[in-house]
Structure 1
């Protein structure tokens, strides 16, 4: 409701103005509207909690003095001199408070130099026009008291100040909200009212028709509405213009002011000496201001150009060169190097930066990046080039010998690894340590910065793959490996899109009889026949699929095909009702909120019970997975799907993770199975896994079983399930089915946890 008070005041003011123009109750219009406007200036800021209050108080005083001036002028217009001019005294005081209030707004906005110059040009043009057309004729009226002549000349001068304020208000801000427009309308109406009195004043008249006061009534209305409008708070702060250009709209205001001296020279062919002085001095001042404005515009454009160029070539967070400028600088270095000169490039990527961002927020990450940039700049020689080329990626270029390059690499790693203070607020509150993976390359046959940066990145990613927090020097074999990886990615993308992959199935057997004669399940393993390289195992392309963001599509296809194959085997009687299918899922799939519902839809479409599906996850899922992953795992268990931890023992094999997550089994990694019968240590590890799993009621599968000795140890340790080449390699579906039929029976599977 209070946000619409300005509409009510506007309605009252316009109604009063219409009644005033119709000469209906003229004595009530100004007291009513003027009082309401003064109250609006006094209480509007409190209504909307506007700060600061000082300009509003000054404008309230201006409204009260203007109101008193209008009322006294109406009452004393026929009174004796100088009592009749008492109303003008209040009006002049109102002008003073109005100017002070407007100036307070402008001082808070910050007066733009170009806006001030443009305002002065308009002001001088208006002053010349006012002086020659109104002030001089008004003061030259014979037989009039001096005070009356002074007031007749004073009002046009005050209007010149109003013009200066209005133009500066319009030129200083790029966003003109309704409150500012209403305020501008108020100033324009005051100027229009004074202009009307100036016209009759040059003819010797002090009063005129009642319609001459109509602009003042409307000015009260617009001013009061501005104070009540919700956008009045925007008057406390301007939105600065990026460049104060001479736009067409601005020239519509400035043009007449520039043309005023020339037009008046034509209109006044024989001006008096004082008029000639005013025209000459005023015209010269306008020309000087135009020159200053043009010069300032040129300098501003040059400064803006330099600023834009700096922003386009430098990182805003660290102030270091960005990738674009780095490429230019490196190309120049490569072109200027001598035969014996060596240019070294270091490409480093921070390890652990994402953890800082996730734990303390992006402001902490920004603080860390800025600190690393400053450390690199201070740790290296002044002639070294340090650039930020990505989120947490930096590049250093040095002109040095090989020993100096290696020493520089050590300094880079040391300055990054020193503890850094981060935190969520303005004051750092926590100490963190991050590392860096760095690739180093020497510019030998490199002719361009792009090639050098590509090889440095290649070496950096090689360092990451080798364990992070280290550096690697580039060699040509890395380029070949990258080219091979790219070729594999391109071919894999086409293979996934066209479903050119295949699935092989490896048997999982019941080992409780000591021999593993019964096949109780199968693991679905994806295979790919590369058009050039032939059949490739998962270790050749799964990592590529993850990096290329193809793993979700690939995993979804494998899951769907494996479940449908199980359904076909069940329908044909190849397997029994308790035979289960084991399928690997990636962490990326478990980051999809709809994954559990997709699994349910696949099972429903194939008419396969959920208990016949086992999803294999990695240990990293339990450690690094968030709340979404945990909810998905719980939802999958609610469906009846079983969850097994693959390659158990190679990562974070903590009892707490197994207890907290809804897993139903573990797979002992082949690295421990391979030593059975030879290594007592591996045997003890397997024994411990079996004991722990039994305590948690988890099934255990030993994978990678290749010899009877390994099988015998596993049977002795009471490992219930096993898979490996001893019982068969992964084979196509029809071969797998034939092998099952060759046994002449489908064995009943061991009881596994399915609840």
Structure 2
């Protein structure tokens, strides 16, 4: 080694780096360490026994190794290979010290992982510069490795967070449907028997419309916490905006979850305090069980949802095979319904309305019927709700309007419907939301030459509530043109008094449930009397539905009801039979 003048007084970069000097000649080790100390390096390890290299590296890796190639066992080449195999990308850089300058020696050392060479005898300045370069390069490498590891850690943490969020319902923070199905699938794969419950809350959309979505979401969170508290041993998740799913491992014959859910249903009858609001909600629960009902997670949830009881039924219902058959039947009905108009499968029936005071025919309500060659006669109670849900009600509704107006126009021209005889046609909620409904009806009246006073449109209270302003505009346009407007099933819906004074209503139809209860309790009869008096105060006539006995008709006449319809007068009939009644009216008159 050639000793040159000392390097300047400036602070040595990487002065705190640990440098290991390995040479089987102790004198060479001492000289190199002195040179490094003079250059400002303080953490030096000098080894003249190559067997000590690996044990010392096991204790703490240096930042740089100066390694002689020609040494007794192990020699420098062997140590290079072992260091690379043991520490891989964490291995510190190695500068080989050698007096040999042949290509074979250099290639072999480079192949084993050497970073640089110092040829003996070497120049001090050159040696220190190469050492500095190797330390700088290794330091930068370690920084990049550290940054990469930090980034990998951040990515891993973010990935875990995203995975957590992917399994979490955002409003409640509860497991979402993906998490629920995954958990169920794991239990089913282990052969566990699961009881599954699908829980649907009531009136949340109405709460959102009345009080805002924040109030609805807060209520949803409160219900979620209640479910978690009451169903400690069950896994509970939020399936949708107003739906929860829970499942629990149970014995084949056990009904523990159902019993706990009964307690939950009772708890939910209480009022929830949210800010200044006091809110109520109810729930319906459908249940299924693995093994008995299926072995697939999605199928079990679907069956539990299918088992949801009707809104007016019991709170909890278990799935059975008849529900699956009912679902299949609904699918067939919905499919066939799409072509019912084009295949000419629809027809109209007419149920007469009677003037209670005179017994005279006062018109009729048109009722839709559907006969399908494959399904047979399909009840309106089966296909009307499906049509409303799918939007097919718009097609059916237009057909009913046109056929009613066409048939009534023919009877009108034949002189069969005179005076106050009106044909009432039902208009669905989806039709009321159309901005061109009134124009369409008036255009049909013009097309078939039917005076507007011969037609009455019937709308339900719930249908009006879907879009009150749009309904008011459409009904006002019809009323201004002379078409009568009736509220069907009055008293079973929403704020009756609020809209009666703002809508152009000329007739109220009292729902049959009030009529049937009238003979059982005086209180119910008083209620009917109040409804009739209120209708008269608003300038509306009253039609009573579902008259099945003459005593009901007499009572209603005594209470001031003008019109009635029901099986006691006549059942719904085909056009030809109704035409015969128009030609030869029965004597429906009776004494009060």
Q: TM-score, normalised by structure 1?
A: 0.55
* Aligned with 1:600 (options 429, 442, 460): 442
SS in 2 for 1:588: helix
* Change over 3 Å in CA distance of 1:642–1:319 after alignment to 2: same
Q: Give 1:17's aligned residue.
A: none
Q: Give 2:296's aligned residue.
A: 448
* Change over 3 Å in CA distance of 1:465–1:498 after alignment to 2: farther
Distance 1:290 1:669 in 2: 79
* Aligned with 2:258 (options 381, 406, 420): 406
Q: Give 1:134's aligned residue.
A: none
Conserved in 2, the CA contact under 8 Å of 1:505 and 1:731? yes
Distance 1:650 1:359 in 2: 19
Distance 2:168 2:493 in 1: 42
Conserved in 2, the CA contact under 8 Å of 1:348 and 1:437? yes
SS in 2 for 1:315: coil
Q: Give 1:434's aligned residue.
A: 281
Distance 2:404 2:261 in 1: 50
Q: Give 1:97's aligned residue.
A: none
Q: Does 1:394 align with 2:241?
A: no
Distance 1:374 1:687 in 2: 46
Q: Give 2:488's aligned residue.
A: 646
* Change over 3 Å in CA distance of 1:291–1:354 after alignment to 2: same
Q: Does 1:491 align with 2:339?
A: no
SS in 2 for 1:663: coil
Q: Does 1:288 align with 2:142?
A: yes
Conserved in 2, the CA contact under 8 Å of 1:622 and 1:661? no
Structure 1 or 2: larger strand share? 2
TM-superposed deviation, 1:463: 4.3
* Change over 3 Å in CA distance of 1:578–1:312 after alignment to 2: same
* Change over 3 Å in CA distance of 1:432–1:707 after alignment to 2: closer
Distance 2:149 2:519 in 1: 91
Q: Give 1:307's aligned residue.
A: 161
Is 350-359 or 446-455 further displaced after alignment?
A: 350-359
CA deviation vs aligned residue, 1:613-632 (integer Å, no higher than 9, x gap)? 21112243466763333343
* Aligned with 1:697 (options 539, 561, 572): 539
* Change over 3 Å in CA distance of 1:409–1:552 after alignment to 2: same
Q: Give 1:464's aligned residue.
A: 311
SS in 2 for 1:444: coil
C-alpha root-mean-square deviation of aligned residues, in Å?
3.7
Q: Does 1:332 align with 2:154?
A: no
Conserved in 2, the CA contact under 8 Å of 1:570 and 1:577? no
Distance 2:269 2:531 in 1: 37
TM-superposed deviation, 1:330: 1.0
Q: Give 2:83's aligned residue.
A: none
TM-superposed deviation, 1:288: 1.5
TM-superposed deviation, 1:448: 0.9
SS in 2 for 1:349: strand
Distance 2:520 2:143 in 1: 97
SS in 1 for 2:240: coil
TM-superposed deviation, 1:354: 1.2
* Change over 3 Å in CA distance of 1:283–1:682 after alignment to 2: closer
Q: Give 2:44's aligned residue.
A: none
SS in 2 for 1:535: strand
Q: Give 2:170's aligned residue.
A: 316
Within-5 A mapping of 1:113-128: none
Q: Give 1:373's aligned residue.
A: 224
TM-superposed deviation, 1:395: 0.7
* Change over 3 Å in CA distance of 1:499–1:288 after alignment to 2: farther
Q: Give 1:120's aligned residue.
A: none
TM-superposed deviation, 1:404: 2.5
Q: TM-score, normalised by structure 2?
A: 0.68
Q: Which runs of 5+ in 1 are unaligned?
A: 1-123, 125-261, 263-269, 423-427, 745-755
Q: Give 2:322's aligned residue.
A: 477
Conserved in 1, the CA contact under 8 Å of 2:429 and 2:464? no
Conserved in 2, the CA contact under 8 Å of 1:463 and 1:471? no
Q: Give 2:345's aligned residue.
A: 500
Q: Does 1:569 align with 2:406?
A: no
Q: Give 1:133's aligned residue.
A: none
Q: Give 1:633's aligned residue.
A: 475
Conserved in 2, the CA contact under 8 Å of 1:701 and 1:723? yes
Distance 2:215 2:180 in 1: 26
Distance 1:364 1:655 in 2: 27
Count of matched residue pairs: 465
SS in 2 for 1:575: coil
Distance 2:147 2:463 in 1: 65
TM-superposed deviation, 1:577: 6.9
Conserved in 2, the CA contact under 8 Å of 1:645 and 1:667? yes
Distance 2:173 2:521 in 1: 58
SS in 2 for 1:464: coil
Distance 2:212 2:376 in 1: 47
SS in 1 for 2:186: helix
Structure 1 or 2: larger helix share? 1
* Change over 3 Å in CA distance of 1:635–1:310 after alignment to 2: same
Distance 1:394 1:687 in 2: 44
Distance 2:530 2:148 in 1: 85
CA deviation vs aligned residue, 1:41-78 (integer Å, no higher than 9, x gap)? xxxxxxxxxxxxxxxxxxxxxxxxxxxxxxxxxxxxxx
Conserved in 1, the CA contact under 8 Å of 2:456 and 2:484? yes
